[in-house]
Amino acid sequence: AQKITQTQPGMFVQEKEAVTLDCTYDTSDPSYGLFWYKQPSSGEMIFLIYQGSYDQQNATEGRYSLNFQKARKSANLVISASQLGDSAMYFCAMREGNRDDKIIFGKGTRLHILP
């Protein structure tokens, strides 16, 4: 069963608009971490934001925020005031528990920002 589901294979958004990228996850472990990574066309993987399962507040990093809805097992990435440079592939990922460090990735969403 897929543990990380990203239902939007591709999205087109007008520059300066806000963007929400969907991510749902599946785990029975009460302790877990959620991540978002950006992969531009150059190929590198760039860490954007992290949310721990016990964190009381939604994580924010500059224009990025994570809309964490624990009961719905949802961890959507919100990008405010999108820019052309935001065009990239975005991956949601999860680490289960605290015993080991491995994280598993969703299939990704390709975001296109239109001028």
Partner 1 sequence: DAGVIQSPRHEVTEMGQEVTLRCKPISGHNSLFWYRQTMMRGLELLIYFNNNVPIDDSGMPEDRFSAKMPNASFSTLKIQPSEPRDSAVYFCASSFRGTGKGYTFGSGTRLTVV
Contact 19, 109 (CB under 8 A): no
- Using the minimum distance from each CB to partner 1, give the nearer residue, 17 or 48: 48
- Among 95, 90, 94, which Cα is nearest to 107's? 90
Q: Is residue 90 part of the contact set for partner 1 (CB under 8 A)?
A: no
- The only residue of 83, 98, 112, 114 in contact with partner 1, by rule CB under 8 A: 98
Q: Is residue 33 part of the contact set for partner 1 (CB under 8 A)?
A: yes
- The only residue of 1, 44, 71, 72 in contact with partner 1, by rule CB under 8 A: 44
- The only residue of 16, 47, 69, 70 in contact with partner 1, by rule CB under 8 A: 47
Contact 52, 45 (CB under 8 A): no
Site residues for partner 1 per CB under 8 A: 33, 35, 37, 43-47, 50, 52, 91, 95, 98, 100-108
